[in-house]
Amino acid sequence: MSANALKGVRNAAMLIAGLLVAWQALYWFVGDAALRPPLATFRYTLNLVTSEAFWPHLSETMRAFAVALAIAVSVGLATGFWLGSHKLSSQVFEPMLVAVYSIPKITLYPILLLAFGLGMPAKIAFGAIHGIVPVALFTINAVRNVRPILIKTGRVHGLSATEMVRAVLFPAALPEIFTGFRVGFSLTLIGTLLGEMFAAQRGLGYLLMTAIGLHNVDLIMAVTLLLITFAAAVSSVLLAIDRRLHRRI
Amino acid sequence: MSQASAHVSLRGVTKTFPSAAGGELHALGPVDLDLRRGEFLAVVGPSGCGKSTLLELIAGLSPPTAGTIEFEGRRIAGDIPDGIGVVFQEDACFPWLSVEANVAFGLRKSAIEPAAKTKRVREVIELMGLTDFAKSYPAQLSGGMRQRVCIARTLVKEPRLILLDEPFGALDQQTRLLMGDEVLKLWRQTGATVFLITHALDEAAMLADRIAVMSARPGRLIDAVETNWPRERDSRIVERPEFGVITARLWKSLREESLKTIGRAK
Ligand SMILES: Nc1ncnc2c1ncn2[C@@H]1O[C@H](COP(=O)(O)OP(=O)(O)OP(=O)(O)O)[C@@H](O)[C@H]1O
Ligand SMILES: [Mg+2]
């Protein structure tokens, strides 16, 4: 176990080192107009995160993301459990979900802006619609694939419908649901940032868009670095949990 | 045996399933059967004859297509009666729970206090020879051990009627005999009625007071053999001359039916 963990840390360190080398090499190749070298970026990022002006943007994005994710997960789970355990409704609604999944969500953004106006609610809604569908689709499959014998076992122990969901369906489906959560997490983050990039006055997405407008390469690089680091760190934690959950099956 | 005094009573019980071709598959019956209170009944029959179907009907997991089933004088109609414990043919352990927690699941609905609960769980785990694995997860156990977990989860409830669907199918012959002894001991101690499905004729002959023989699908009862064993008994009963006589009689009744099943499968 600890030998494995050590190996994991070593692999991660090697990956990061490799990425940094590639980054530096790319910088030498394309030059100052489009890129900054790693060291300069780190220095700039440090300055950025210690500056007063940065925190409102970060907190805005994080709040929007947290609420969007909470909505995506709760609506996705509820939809998933409902459709996963009702054959008829799933025959009707599942194809719709798949269709929604494949639409580029950006085409819905103007409608959302009209409905919610500029600002927090529109961002949250845009983030959430990215996450709901994958969470729902994974949950549907997870619930549907619960072995019938486990449900029968629940029944012979006299479980009510809610107890069945809590004590049998949910834990049995959890590994698969968690995979859905992982995908939902990434997509909700993308959705929230996209929302900020096109219609907002605050947030990391807005900051990035302004930086692009001003051709502030340092700022672009710094914000991108922060976002990538955040996404990669959370994703690897989620992936580790995911693997652990799947090991018991 | 009158219907009123029987612990479980089946009258004209039939089950059909919708078949894949759009027609009907006649899986079972009509079956008439009474279980005496405290009786150990074994059911043998060719593969696919409807044994598991019969068990699920008695457990109240699905309603019969025709006929009636009564447990302790109350009609079972697709609801799950209290006091019945079931061990299924398939592995039914909850993979996300430890052995201990799986067994404790059996006591979810009982009102006993936590300390007594823990004690009882521990006792049953010990009885099933799983003490060293109490903290393990099902994925870390062999198939036979997982089946023992399921048996423990059922026994811990102290059901008045125990339905067992080939519970020793995954065990080797020696362990089977020993587990059979344990079941006999429990049966004597608890006074429960036992309904045991098995494909092993010697197991049926060794354990049961009475053995019901089923025909090929649709399963009907074609023979019932009383063993007349004393209540105090164990696996050494196989040494008795009557044991051979009973097994031979079972095989005589079954041979023809089993041939039908194989012939159909070809
Ligand atoms: N839910 C179901 N839907 C449709 N057909 C079913 C269902 N359950 C059982 N059957 C059919 O009913 C018949 C009897 O099945 P059952 O499982 O009761 O047999 P069995 O005697 O327990 O067999 P085995 O000894 O192999 O366990 C089989 O032909 C089976 O395919
Ligand atoms: Mg069966």
How would residue B261 be classed by pLDDT, with cut points 50, 70 and 90? confident
Are A30 and A141 within one domain?
no
Ligand nearest, relative to CA of residue B65? 1
Q: What is the mean pLDDT of residues B155-169?
A: 89
> How confident is the model at residue B158, as a pLDDT?
87
**How many other CB atoms are found less than 10 A from the CB of residue B189?**
9
Q: What is the mean pLDDT of residues A217-221?
A: 89
Q: What is the pTM of this model?
A: 0.80
How many domains does chain A fold into? Answer: 2
Q: Is the pLDDT of residue B1 over 70?
A: no
With beta carbons less than 8 A apart as the criterion, state whether B211 and B227 touch: yes
Are A119 and A22 within one domain?
no
Q: How far apart are CA A19 and CA B254, in angstroms?
A: 71
Cβ-defined contact of A153 to B94 (cutoff 8 Å): yes
With beta carbons less than 8 A apart as the criterion, state whether B89 and B169 touch: yes
Are A68 and A90 within one domain?
yes
Summarised one tens digit per residue, pLDDT across range B177-228 is: 888 888 888 888 888 999 999 988 888 888 999 999 998 888 888 888 888 8
Give the structural domain span for A150: 36-247
Contacts of A146 in chain B (CB under 8 A): none
Beta-sheet pairing, B210-214 with B221-226: antiparallel
Highest-pLDDT range among B1-5, B39-43, B174-178: B39-43
> How many Å lie between the centroid of ligand 2 and the Cα of residue B88?
9
Can you give the length of chain B in residues? 266
Q: Is the pLDDT of residue A63 over 50?
A: yes
Summarised one tens digit per residue, pLDDT across range B97-114 is: 999 999 999 998 888 888
Summarised one tens digit per residue, pLDDT across range A177-207 is: 999 999 999 999 999 998 888 877 888 999 9
> How confident is the model at residue B244, as a pLDDT?
86
Q: How far is CA A176 from the centre of its chain?
A: 16
Q: Is the pLDDT of residue B266 over 60?
A: no
Tell me what percent of the residues of chain A surpass a pLDDT of 70: 99
Contacts of A167 in chain B (CB under 8 A): 105, 108
Q: Between residues B105 and B250, which one has the greater pLDDT? A: B105
Are A24 and A123 within one domain?
no
Least confident of A113-122, A235-244, B57-66, B256-265: B256-265
Q: How far apart are CA A199 and CA A205, in angstroms?
A: 9
Beta strand segments in chain B, E: 8-18, 24-35, 40-44, 66-71, 74-75, 84-87, 161-165, 193-197, 210-214, 221-226
Are A120 and A196 within one domain?
yes
> How confident is the model at residue B111, as a pLDDT?
83
Q: What is the mean pLDDT of chain A?
A: 88
Estimate the crossing angle of helix A170-198 against helix A120-144, to 10 degrees. 150
This model of the complex carries an ipTM of: 0.86
Are A17 and A119 within one domain?
no
Are A184 and A63 within one domain?
yes
Q: Is the pLDDT of residue A93 over 50?
A: yes
Query: How many degrees, rounded to 5, is the angle at CA B219 between CA B217 and CA B222?
Result: 125
Q: Is the pLDDT of residue B264 over 70?
A: no
Are A99 and A203 within one domain?
yes
Summarised one tens digit per residue, pLDDT across range A127-173 is: 999 999 999 999 999 988 899 999 999 999 988 888 988 999 899 99
> How confident is the model at residue A188, as a pLDDT?
93
Show Cβ contacts of residue A96 under 8 Å, excluding neighbours closer than 6 positions: none
Cβ-defined contact of B96 to A171 (cutoff 8 Å): yes
> How many Å lie between the centroid of ligand 2 and the Cα of residue A213?
70
Contacts of B105 in chain A (CB under 8 A): 157, 167
> How confident is the model at residue B78, as a pLDDT?
65
With beta carbons less than 8 A apart as the criterion, state whether B84 and A157 touch: no
Are A21 and A69 within one domain?
no
> How confident is the model at residue B197, as a pLDDT?
94
Q: How far apart are CA A130 and CA A192, in angstroms?
A: 9
Q: Between residues A12 and B154, which one has the greater pLDDT? A: B154
CATH code for the domain of A215: 1.10.3720.10
Are A2 and A86 within one domain?
no
> How confident is the model at residue B195, as a pLDDT?
95
> How many Å lie between the centroid of ligand 2 and the Cα of residue B258?
15
Are A30 and A118 within one domain?
no
Are A53 and A130 within one domain?
yes
Chain position carrying tokens 């009882």: B120
Cβ-defined contact of B94 to A150 (cutoff 8 Å): yes
Q: Between residues A243 and A101, which one has the greater pLDDT? A: A243
Q: Is the pLDDT of residue B5 over 80?
A: no
Show Cβ contacts of residue A160 under 8 Å, excluding neighbours closer than 6 positions: none
> How confident is the model at residue A69, as a pLDDT?
95
Q: Which atom of ligand 1 is nearest to the CA of B50?
A: 18
